[in-house]
A = this chain, B = another copy of it.
């Protein structure tokens, strides 16, 4: 593969090179890349802002993450936060810090993934910058979206007796990560090793190329349902549910046998001798939506494809509990905090 040193383009040349394919598609985007700030017109909607900082070695491992996938995932994860507010992502800024290890072609790959995500989700790339980094790749994304007045969904609106719903299935991204980490450790050093991932495509795709649930937001809108509370599942279902119940001042009760889990996820958990429910509750990076709706919507929600009712909201005094297949109850716990890593020497 060709390798063009970044210094041959210079900073402004590099930005131009990477963003010259950008087309603006949203009427709210008045001015994108190329001035001190982007200019947006949100005069008929409310504005949503979310941001992410991704650092090599902490948030991603380039040993098994192709740069194009990294770009796609970084963008999609940000869009997911906007959908989780019942909004639509419309603009994004991307800043990249890169060391000399990376060539122009590497950045092209990264941007190809970012642009693909923008295409798929209808988002305009409107700004950002590139700079050097001493230690690898740093990626910072900010997504701007719109929400209709009165229809933005927060975390704090869940009410007693509300139904708790989840889209898609859970735990697959986490099992995909376990698989990638295992292959990396087993074959460390063998340069051209190609592990056999057949039959495991789904969990790998969930880890490497997740999608945001734009479709679920559309289905809910079509059905005329505005959830009372909603979050996307990035840190794991338990963690997100605990955010919703603590901010709403309520408790919850979810049922183990209702938690949607894919077959490949289950097979992999068995292979790794891991607790499947723990993986589904705490694995994270599913980017599914968890939301609550009034009990009166029961039949409507149950009829929605790809949405599962997994439990209900209770009084705060009842706590947050998981009802097992045997009827036993355990308290829901958030995933342990991943401790801050040691600095390289």
Question: Which of A's residues lie within 8 Å of B, judged by CB?
Answer: 6-7, 10-11, 30-31, 34-53, 55-59, 81-82, 84-85, 87, 91, 93, 95-101, 126-129, 131-136, 138, 140, 142-145, 147, 149, 152, 154-155, 231-232, 247, 337-344
A-B contact pairs, 6 of them (CB 8 A): A36-B50, A36-B155, A40-B47, A99-B343, A100-B340, A135-B343
> Are A49's CB and B40's CB within 8 A?
yes
**Cβ contacts under 8 Å, A31 to chain B:** 154
> Are B87's CB and A51's CB within 8 A?
no
> Are A51's CB and B142's CB within 8 A?
yes
CB-based closest 6 A-B pairs: A99-B343, A53-B95, A140-B140, A37-B50, A40-B47, A132-B340
Out of B35, B37, B56, B84, name the residue touching A37 (CB < 8 Å). B84
**Cβ contacts under 8 Å, A136 to chain B:** 134-135, 343
With CB as the reference atom, state the residue of chain B lying closest to A57: B134
**Cβ contacts under 8 Å, A38 to chain B:** 48-50
Q: How many Å from the CB of A240 to the closest CB on chain B? A: 10
With CB as the reference atom, state the residue of chain B lying closest to A84: B36
- Please report the C-alpha to C-alpha distance between residue A41 and residue B138 in the assembled complex, in whole angstroms: 31
> Are B46's CB and A43's CB within 8 A?
yes
> Are B232's CB and A140's CB within 8 A?
no
> Are B82's CB and A37's CB within 8 A?
yes
Q: Say yes or no: A42-B43 contact (C-beta < 8 A), given A53-B140, A99-B342, A134-B135.
A: yes
Q: How many Å from the CB of A16 to the closest CB on chain B? A: 11
> Are B58's CB and A97's CB within 8 A?
yes
**Cβ contacts under 8 Å, A344 to chain B:** 134-135, 344
> Are A99's CB and B49's CB within 8 A?
no
**Cβ contacts under 8 Å, A154 to chain B:** 31, 35
- Please report the C-alpha to C-alpha distance between residue A144 and residue B140 in the assembled complex, in whole angstroms: 16
> Are B134's CB and A6's CB within 8 A?
no
Q: How many Å from the CB of A272 to the closest CB on chain B? A: 25
Q: Say yes or no: A39-B47 contact (C-beta < 8 A), given A93-B142, A100-B342.
A: yes
- Please report the C-alpha to C-alpha distance between residue A128 and residue B50 in the assembled complex, in whole angstroms: 7
Q: Which residue among A35, A57, A339 has the maximum number of chain B CB atoms within 10 Å of its CB?
A: A35
**Cβ contacts under 8 Å, A140 to chain B:** 51, 53, 95, 140
**Cβ contacts under 8 Å, A132 to chain B:** 55, 58, 338-341
Q: How many Å from the CB of A212 to the closest CB on chain B? A: 11
Q: How many Å from the CB of A30 to the closest CB on chain B? A: 7
With CB as the reference atom, state the residue of chain B lying closest to A11: B337
> Are B51's CB and A128's CB within 8 A?
yes
Q: How many Å from the CB of A39 to the closest CB on chain B? A: 6
Q: How many Å from the CB of A188 to the closest CB on chain B? A: 18
> Are B155's CB and A35's CB within 8 A?
yes
